[in-house]
Amino acid sequence: MECTRQEMMAIATGREFSNGELAIFGVGLSMLAGYWAQKNHAPDLVAFTEGGVFGSSPVGGLPWGIEDTRISANATSFTNAIDALGCLVASGRVDNAVIGAAQIDKFGNVNTTGIWEEGTQPWKAGRYTLPKVRLNGSGGANEIACGAKKFILMVTHEKKRFADRVDYISSPGYLSGGDSRAKMGFVGGGPCCVVTTLGILRPDPVTKEFYLDAYYPFSSVEEIKENTGWDLKVSANVKMAPEPTAKELANLRAIDTTGSLRKG
Amino acid sequence: MIRKVMDMKSAVNLIKEGQLLGFGGNSLHRTPAAFGFELANRGLKKLKLCNTAQGIASDILCAMDAVDTLYFGFFGFENQYGLAPGMRKGCQEGKIKVMEGPCTAIIAALRASACGVPFMTMAGLWGSQLIDQLPGFYRVVESPFDGTKVVAVKALRPDYAVLHVHEADEFGNARINGSDYQDVLLSRAAAKTIITAEKIVPTKTFQDNPKLTSIPHFLVAAVVEAPEGAKPGYCFGLYDTADDAGMKAYQKAVKENAVPAYLANVTERRA
């Protein structure tokens, strides 16, 4: 089936959700992936937003953020962020989530804080230095990265976004790899995969370094390696992710009423 | 969403010996009495109960020797009906250990659990014997920022919150009219919540006014339709005052060691 890279990314992300999970979908394209999973194969997937909107089924196009009123359609409950993030996420109730990133690294750490000139990153400079580009910050992603039982990273696959080490850890993945995250004692388990516009990366169970697990019908191992900023290891069993079925794509386009995923 | 409607017996059967339960409401108001009566019939032992101000649902379990530990700020039947006879008897006979707090300390313990931290700090409390005598529940600690003293209250995570509400749908979305006391917090602090509701209503009721939803469905393990489920206590807007004859009959039963007969009578009438 003909589909755009973003549609493939949304479907590959949505396939990571199981029926009955309690989830936070995030905002933007990841939200379409979540609502697609609900419609496609996980009718009892339960979602809420970090702002405390529960059980909604957005209408009228892609909500631009968690404060967009379109996100409230058909909601069964409204509370607030203290409840949603401070209690339900922080105490470890959430099964699965999606987090986006400006930059990630080979251990799945997330940077949404800023981009620095090479050599001036705070971890290299040993102090806080001024960023070249100041980004919009962690938002609720840090709480989700620490508290969700697992989470999916959904990132556009570009070399500048896939760094050997992120300039700044806004939200923790597996930190410096191995057992470094486990030692932190988070209630949440860490990123289970990175789903991109080119393929799917998964963490090595021991080193926690992300390797290439699958490419898409329209991408290749070579293209993915070229667009990754570290020497990406490739699974011995690397495979093509199943092409979207007609049903999967029809369900996605029924959710993506305004065609947000068909633009890219 | 998953349907969770069941009868009272099935909901009560979710509870296991030794578990920590948080019954909602406040003293006589929205105490989950029908649930408490049915649970008292089961003969479980060593239950632990926590909430700020407990009511007849808790007291009858004390009267039936089902409880070994209580966490409360207040446990009584107010000016009209006096001391809680089951609790009083269990404590005076040394069968029940009480972890007493001011209500806010119980709230702090529940907030800690709701937020996923091992304790919650609060102001005040020191100088009372509550602190000195319960080092397993309270400690005075210093702020790492400026040394200010605060009291750390250990988290309480109930296995179940049991809440009597006005309306619920078959999935567990629940609405409380009037004050919710600590019920919303209990649902976030507990591992799971059991809802007994005056009435089962369609989900659209919640979608029409989501701001009025007290408990979202995914926190809920069971929904039981229980009209007049707080009696002989009361329920805001539906039956606004205690059932005087019922309260007196209960007190008389505890006084005369006739609780099993009382229990048989009230549960038979509900069945």
Residue B87: pLDDT band (50, 70, 90) is very high
SS3 state of residue B30: coil
pLDDT, residue A263, reads 77
Question: What are A112's two structure tokens?
Answer: 């949404």
What are the residue boundaries of the structural domains of chain B, listed by start? 8-115+157-270, 119-154
Please check whether residue B86 is in contact with residue B120, taking contact to mean a CB–CB distance below 8 angstroms.
no
**Cα A121 to Cα B60: distance, rounded to the nearest angstrom:** 64
ipTM value, please give it. Answer: 0.87
Span B4-21, average pLDDT: 98
Please state, in angstroms and rounded to a whole number, the distance separating the CA atoms of residues A217 and A2: 10
Confidence at residue A1, expressed as pLDDT on a 0 to 100 scale: 65
Q: What is the mean pLDDT of residues A177-205?
A: 97
**Is residue A72 pLDDT above 60, yes or no?**
yes
Q: Could you tell me the maximum CA-CA distance found in chain B, to the nearest angstrom? A: 60
Q: Is B210 on the interface with A (CB under 8 A)?
A: yes
* Residue A123 forms contact with B (CB below 8 Å): no
Whether A75 has its CB under 8 Å from any CB of chain B: the answer is: yes
How close, in Å, is residue B193 to chain A by CA atoms?
A: 13
As beta bridge partners, residue B70 has B49, B98
pLDDT at A71 (0 to 100)? 80
Closest partner CB to B218 (pick from A22, A53, A147): A22
Give the span between the Cα atoms of B64 and B40, in whole angstroms.
7
Residue B33: is its pLDDT beyond 60? yes
User: Which residues of chain A neighbour B113 with C-beta distances below 8 Å?
Assistant: 91
Interface contact B217-A187, CB threshold 8 A: no
Domains and CATH numbers, chain A: 5-262 (3.40.1080.10)
Determine whether A16 is an active site residue: no
Alpha helices in chain A (DSSP H): 5-14, 29-40, 81, 122-125, 141-147, 221-226, 246-255
Flag if A55 and B114 touch (Cβ within 8 Å): no
> B8-115+157-270, what's its fold?
Glutaconate Coenzyme A-transferase (3.40.1080)
**pLDDT tens for each residue of B36-47:** 999 999 999 999
The mean of the pLDDT values for chain B is 95
Whether residue B217 lies within 8 A of chain A, CB to CB, comes out as yes
Interface contact B187, partner A, CB < 8 A: no
Average confidence (pLDDT) over B3-19 = 98
Q: Cα(first)–Cα(last) distance of chain A, in Å?
A: 16
Asked if residues A116 and A165 have their Cβ atoms less than 8 Å apart, the reply is no
Please report the residues numbered 181 through 220 in chain A whose beta carbons come closer than 8 angstroms to any beta carbon of chain B: 187
pLDDT digits (tens, 9 = 90+) for B203-252: 999 999 999 999 999 999 999 999 999 999 999 999 999 999 999 999 99
- Substitution target in A69, A71, A77, A96 with the highest count of B β-carbons within 10 Å is A77
Question: A23: how many CB neighbours lie within 10 A of its CB?
Answer: 23
Asked if A216 contacts A199 with a C-beta cutoff of 8 angstroms, the reply is yes
Encode pLDDT of B177-210 as tens digits: 999 999 999 999 999 999 999 999 999 999 999 9
User: Quick check: A54 contacting B, CB < 8 Å?
Assistant: yes
**B116 contacts on A by Cβ (under 8 Å):** 87, 90-92, 147, 187
pLDDT exceeding 70 applies to what percent of chain A? 98
Given this model, what pLDDT does residue B223 score? 98
Average pLDDT over residues B4-14: 98
User: At residue A156, does pLDDT exceed 60?
Assistant: yes
Say yes or no to pLDDT of B126 above 80: yes
pLDDT above 90 as % of chain A: 83
Residue of B nearest to A48 (CA): B216
Beta strands in chain B (DSSP E): 20-23, 47-54, 67-75, 97-100, 119-122, 138-142, 149-154, 160-168, 174-175, 192-200, 220-225
Residue B232: cis peptide before it, omega within 30 degrees of 0: yes
CB contact under 8 A, A91 and B116: yes
Cβ–Cβ under 8 Å, residues B10 and B151: no
